[in-house]
């Protein structure tokens, strides 16, 4: 069963899947009022090199497939059904990645307590467990430059991200991207859980059992092997479809 068959909607699947991520982050307590953003490549019919993003002012639990805003890489709003516009800081971060990484279909950015806590640690994310080990030597870092309103920062963001799919914005939050919406969402969930676990571990005051570089690298390679074999097959993305079904059951209007 493909996502297109799982969710019956008259709207493009790009809009439906992106709206699902907003509702899911709200439900899982990973939103930040009306701030932070998730973007995805817009359907070709909505503009060349355009992407979808949330209308500024809506809570994540108010975002739906039909009210997402379409914007091009220069910041020109192409479609805005509610007339709310977009958050300028969100445009800076997301346009940078979409312009530089044609392989990326979705970019997610969060300000969770655990994510910001780990982003504020000098050592960042540590290889402590099966959630964090897959990010070993595969996690980018970008130094804080204040609220992301300076378009010149875009070049530094993409330089720091490189070809990776996850990044810690120091003193700020988390960012993930993926070749599909589902991939970006799963990566964010894994990164968030890794941060929550690290904060919980550090909070015990006990001695941390940090994995060796060799074991962390081995675990990361295992994860990559699983992802590559899954992508090479014709199997559907079972985990993402499960999330879509959950979203539809809990938020039946998200795809409208």
Domains of the chain with CATH codes: 3-240 (3.40.225.10)
Distances (CA, A) of 217 to 60, 119, 135, 213, 220: 36, 22, 9, 6, 5
Question: Is pLDDT of 98 > 90?
Answer: yes
Decide which of 116 and 235 is more confident: 116
Confirm if 216 and 128 have CB atoms less than 8 A apart.
no
Whole-number pLDDT of residue 235: 75
Q: 71 - beta bridge partners?
A: 51, 77
pLDDT band at 229 (very low <50, low <70, confident <90, very high): confident
User: CA 182, CA 45: separation in Å to the nearest integer?
Assistant: 22
Count of other CB atoms within 10 angstroms of residue 88: 13
Q: Reduce the DSSP state of residue 147 to 3 states and report it.
A: coil
Query: Among residues of the chain, what percentage have pLDDT more than 90?
Result: 85
Q: In what order do the strands lie in the sheet with 69-72?
A: 77-79, 69-72, 50-53, 37-41, 106-110, 173-178, 166-169, 140-142
Number of H helices, E strands in the chain: 8, 8
Q: How confident is the model at residue 249 (pLDDT cuts 50, 70, 90)?
A: very high
pTM for this one? 0.93
Q: What is the pLDDT of residue 7?
A: 62
pLDDT tens figures, 10-23: 899 999 999 999 99
Per-residue confidence band for 2, with pLDDT thresholds at 50, 70 and 90: very low
Average pLDDT, the chain: 94
Q: Which of 27 and 89 is assigned the larger pLDDT?
A: 27
Q: Rounded CA gap, 16 and 1, in Å?
A: 16
């Amino acid at each position: 069963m493909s996502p297109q068959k799982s969710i019956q909607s008259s709207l493009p699947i790009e809009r439906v899947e992106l709206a699902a991520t907003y509702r899911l982050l709200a439900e899982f307590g990973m939103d930040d009022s009306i701030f932070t953003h998730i973007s995805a490549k817009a359907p070709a019919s909505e503009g060349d090199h355009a992407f979808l993003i949330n209308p500024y002012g809506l809570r994540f639990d108010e975002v739906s497939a039909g009210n997402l805003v379409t914007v091009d890489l220069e910041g020109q709003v192409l479609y805005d059904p509610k007339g709310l516009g977009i958050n300028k800081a969100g445009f800076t971060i997301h346009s940078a990645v979409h312009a530089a990484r044609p392989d990326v279909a979705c970019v997610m950015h969060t300000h969770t307590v655990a994510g910001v806590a780990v982003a504020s640690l000098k050592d960042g994310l540590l290889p402590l467990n099966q959630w964090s080990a897959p990010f070993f030597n595969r996690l980018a870092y970008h130094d804080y430059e204040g609220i992301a309103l300076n378009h010149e920062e875009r070049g530094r963001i993409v330089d720091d991200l490189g070809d990776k799919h996850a990044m810690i914005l120091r003193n700020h939050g988390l960012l993930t991207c993926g070749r599909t919406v589902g991939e970006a969402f799963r990566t964010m969930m894994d990164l968030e859980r890794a941060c929550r676990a690290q904060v919980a571990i550090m909070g015990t005051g006990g001695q941390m059992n940090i994995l060796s570089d060799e074991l962390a690298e081995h675990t990361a390679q295992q994860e990559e092997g699983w992802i590559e074999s899954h992508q090479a097959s014709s199997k559907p993305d079972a985990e993402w479809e499960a999330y879509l079904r959950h979203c539809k059951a809990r938020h039946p209007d998200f795809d409208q």
